[in-house]
């Protein structure tokens, strides 16, 4: 424990003439131990807002998360992860996804990727998207649930490549551009792609784009949004119509559905039979539920394999 001697106060209170400095004497009555008082007083000041002169505001949550992962501060990592999961937005989703993917923080990785899926264009157009690594960018572009116009995605990819061109390895640009699903574009959109500076300057990229268009059928490469706990039938349909004694619900956007719930009218304790079909063009239909041979009542809670419709 350190000791505070009278010598340390000599600047303000000079020692009387004729007395030796306390530093030259052994510890005794001319040395006073103030250390315990000093610690108590400083603690009171630090923990008392009334006596604080400076407030330190941390804007470095992501950096703290990285440190907690590197030094295995598991409690701190958990607390920061939970905080960040509740505060994902367009301006931090890219950074959080990269950190979570790099350090295998699965909850935060899934949460940030789900957010990016739903707001993919806003995220890719944000300044924070510059923090995406080529690997992370490809993961986002390869998601079936990252629904947006493919030409808009191509434009976002070109902007990202231009901003990060000094950090890219030679084949990274080709890999990222090839992740765009050009087979979902119409002829006018493809014409813009082929005339863009990014494509015209690199014959290899143009060859990759043409190969993807010719080799991958559209039905295997559609995208649709996937939003957890959203009632598509209630919140987003632009058309509900009666056809052949049944009901057809038209969704605003291509969507991936894996759960259907419906109420069967039970005023007269009737039993019902039914089936459910989905389509992308209202011409070809796929039957995903068939209860035509069953007597059904009350609430129907139906889980199906995720289907694009």
**What dihedral angle (degrees, nearest 10) is formed by the CA atoms of 115, 121, 127, 133?**
70
Range scoring the smallest mean pLDDT among 33-47, 88-102, 267-281: 33-47
Res 141: pLDDT: 92
The reported pTM is: 0.62
H/E stretch holding 277 reads: strand 272-278
Given a cut of 50, whether residue 8 has pLDDT beyond it is: no
182: left (phi over 0), alpha (psi -120 to 50) or beta: alpha
Question: Where does the pLDDT of residue 280 fall: very low under 50, low under 70, confident under 90, or very high at 90 and above?
Answer: confident
pLDDT, tens digit, 9 for 90 and up, residues 175-222: 898 889 888 888 899 899 989 988 888 787 788 777 777 765 555 566
- Which of these, 127, 57, 126, 139, lies nearest to 100 by C-alpha position? 139
Q: Where are the domains of the chain?
A: 4-51, 87-220, 232-308
CA distance readout (Å), 99 to 69, 109, 139: 10, 8, 14
Which pLDDT band, with edges at 50, 70 and 90, does 46 fall under?
A: low
- HSE (CB half, 13 Å, CA atoms) of 211? 10
Q: What is the 3-state secondary structure (H, E, C) of 210-241?
A: HHHHHHCCHHHCCCCECCCCCCHHHHCEEEEE
**Calpha distance 100→185 (Å, rounded):** 32
């Amino acid at each position: 424990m350190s000791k505070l001697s009278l010598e340390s106060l000599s600047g303000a209170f000079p020692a009387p003439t004729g007395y030796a400095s306390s530093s030259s004497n052994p510890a005794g009555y001319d040395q006073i131990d103030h250390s315990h008082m000093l610690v108590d007083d400083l603690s009171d000041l630090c923990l008392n807002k009334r006596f604080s002169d400076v407030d330190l505001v941390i804007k470095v949550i992501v950096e703290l998360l990285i440190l907690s992962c590197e030094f295995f501060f598991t409690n701190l990592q958990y607390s920061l992860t939970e905080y960040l999961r509740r505060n994902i937005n367009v301006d931090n989703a890219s950074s959080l996804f990269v950190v979570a993917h790099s350090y295998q923080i699965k909850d935060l990785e899934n949460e940030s990727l789900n957010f990016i899926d739903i707001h993919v264009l806003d995220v890719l157009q944000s300044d924070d998207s510059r923090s995406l690594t080529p690997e992370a960018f490809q993961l986002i572009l390869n998601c079936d649930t990252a629904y947006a116009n493919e030409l808009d995605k191509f434009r976002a990819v070109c902007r990202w490549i231009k901003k990060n061109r000094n950090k890219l390895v030679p084949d990274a640009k080709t890999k990222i551009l090839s992740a765009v699903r050009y087979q979902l574009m119409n002829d006018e959109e493809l014409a813009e792609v082929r005339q863009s500076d990014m494509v015209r300057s690199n014959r290899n990229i143009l060859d990759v784009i043409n190969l993807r268009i010719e080799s991958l059928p559209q039905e295997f490469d559609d995208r649709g949004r996937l939003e957890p706990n959203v009632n598509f039938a209630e919140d987003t349909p632009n058309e509900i119509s009666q056809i052949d004694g049944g009901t057809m619900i038209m969704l605003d956007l291509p969507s991936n559905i894996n759960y259907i719930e419906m109420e069967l009218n039970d005023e007269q304790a009737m039993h019902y039979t039914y089936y459910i079909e989905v389509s992308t063009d209202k011409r070809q239909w796929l039957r995903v539920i068939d209860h035509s041979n069953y007597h059904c009542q009350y609430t129907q809670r139906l889980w199906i394999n995720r289907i694009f419709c």
